[in-house]
Structure 1
Amino acid sequence: MAVPEEYNVIGGLLGLGPDILLEILSEFRLIPNVAQFLDYSIAIINKDPDCIELIDIDGVQKKINKKKDGCNTISLDQVLENGIWSLETMLQNAYGNAAIGIVRDSYDIPANAYYASKPHNQNIAAFSGGEFDYPVWYQGQGTYYNDKFKDNQILRLEFDSFEGTLILFIDNVQQPVYFSGIKEKVRFIV
């Protein structure tokens, strides 16, 4: 009897089926090793390439460089649906002038857009940094109670499409004010 030395699975690892794939992925100890098999590439919708640059760090992590001063709201191109999605980021040299959140997938953010200005604020829900009056923004309205984030803190957004919630964690501490009732496809913004 011959023992095969290699297997050719249709569709790569995803072709193994959910049970076998989960068993294989659970053996990985480092998140970048898992992420490379899940086929969610990180890309941004860049309306101003002279100002914004996406740099690959290690095949999984990316760095977004802002080359000019001014307002920019950029979106990741991955549409968030059917599951729990997470974005983890660390801002540097933003000096509190930054925000992270979500935008309706149906909304096309133009170049030089400020997330809190009309008409953008009708389509964006965001958590903002220390230089803004309010740390939580939606439809032109701000509210208090969350901490204002600053440079070099680990910021994590968790979007649960089943529950319709967007929650912010600052240095692994869940913030009390979050968004709920989200019933449409969205994308992350920075």
Structure 2
Amino acid sequence: MDDSGLPQAWEVRHSNSKNLPYYFNAIDKVSRWEPPQGTDTEKLKKYMATHHSASQGLNTARPEGKIRAAHLLVKHRDSRRPASWREAQITRTKEDAMSIIKGHEQKIRSGSTTLGELATSESDCSSARKRGDLGYFGKGDMQQEFEEAAFGLQPGQMSTVIETASGLHLIERLE
């Protein structure tokens, strides 16, 4: 294991098509979005925050009918895909996930941190590398509950906890 916390033969690479990091096993020629079994997740969180998080530059024009939002996702064992870049298998209950995300919400609302800062190390979405920024999306691009909440916000506003099949979200409307 190196400073990334990944098992031997695994490395972090960057996807040009999705503009996100992924995990690659050079021996088996296997790639995946979630970290492999045996990953030291604490080391990986630090490594990814240092080497693979990028602040998004300001975009000058918003595409017609689209908004831009960031989110922080906390998955649980009943999520559609109970795995993430942080954990190969997520076993927490929905109640535990709710407790975690409520704690994150409290920190953000108190002003002690921002959603983007917390997302880089705490979000179970691969958008964590981009401070939770999902880029521009329009109606029909996201799960219904997520879309309704995001489109209901004004730029700069953050939602309460939103539940989707993916897990529990805090959403911040960026543009």
- TM-score range for the pair, normalised by the shorter chain length: under 0.3
Q: Between Structure 1 and Structure 2, whose CA radius of gyration is higher? A: 1
- 1 or 2 for the larger relative contact order (CA 8 Å, sep ≥6)? 2
As a proportion of its length, which structure holds more strand?
1
More helix by proportion, 1 or 2?
Answer: 2
